[in-house]
Homo-oligomer: A and B are copies of this chain.
Amino acid sequence: MAVTAGAGDPSANYGGHSADGPTVSEIGEAATIAAIREAAPSEVNGDDAAVLDPAPPNSRDIATTDVLVDGEHFRLDWSTPYEVGVKAVSQNFADIQAMGGRPTAVLMSLSAPADLPVGIVSDIARGISATAAPWGVELVGGDVVTSRQLIVSVTAIGVLAGPDPALTVDAARPGHAVVASGVIGHSAAGLALLNYYGSREAVPDNPVLQDLVSRHCAPRLIVGRGSVGRAAGMSAMTDNSDGLIRDLTTVARRSEVIIDLDGAALTPDAQLYYAADATKFGELADPVTVDGQRPLYVSGWNSL
């Protein structure tokens, strides 16, 4: 892919995506919003603010927000715009799950350069809509503004059912066990592959490597994990988006406990060894070792 630098933008031709269509400035704000609403339809979007369905009795709202900046949190020559939408939702919903809740609504604020093709905006919205759909969640509102850099800011609202406490990072207690749900290290391996090969296209067309890259560009969550963990008696939970050791360190510090990780349980799986061989990244091929200075214990649950 030919990348033409322009105006100092980290991905000035937006990775070549939808580059032939009209731009945001050509069709204007109203038509851009119309394109988003067509790509991510919702009955409640379209007034001054969105009115959500009534919450179940005795429930509490949960809210979280995350920003993805072009060139910092994604690269349009590595990820498709659709995948950026997937990632934005997964990242926010993981935070809702990590409280023991389930998401109920998502909003997007899009800061877009004037020359951004509208097709990219529609694809981001489609990724958001498709990722939220398994939860019965819609893109209920947003804002579109002009800026010098593409920035996708997503807010998720969720609900915590019943009077039991939320799952918090400060609620791990001595004697609790750490439970990890989902695979560990696959997103990091995908990023390592992209860095090693330099572009998405250069990653060999091999199902294992392509899957790892996809885990990085478009992380997907298992529906229901947060609420199931809470119903099963978990007290603390965190997502694993910053990396296992960093996220568990937050839990350990905030809970004032030490966490002892089972090195055997963290042995990299076959896919990680395969990626390590492919890239000759020696450090990926070694089993993950626990820092002897800070062994840890916690009742957590890895939600991303």
Contacts and interface: CB of A to CB of B under 8 A. Distances in A.
A54 B63 contact: no
A145 B155 CA distance: 15
Copies held by the complex? 2
Nearest to A57: B57
A72 B146 contact: yes
A196 B67 CA distance: 36
Residues of A contacting B: mostly: strand
Contact of A149 (B59, B63, B149, B238): B149
Contact of A98 (B48, B64, B105): B48
Given A48-B238, A55-B55, A67-B143, 18 more contacts: A49-B63, A49-B96, A49-B101, A50-B63, A65-B109, A65-B142, A65-B143, A65-B153, A67-B145, A69-B111, A69-B145, A69-B147, A73-B145, A107-B155, A111-B111, A145-B151, A148-B149, A149-B149
15 contacts: A47-B98, A47-B168, A48-B95, A48-B169, A48-B238, A57-B57, A61-B105, A63-B107, A63-B157, A67-B109, A69-B111, A69-B145, A72-B146, A72-B147, A148-B148
Interface of A: 8, 47-55, 57-67, 69, 72-73, 94-96, 98-99, 101, 104-105, 107-111, 140-143, 145-149, 151, 153, 155-158, 160, 166, 168-170, 237-239
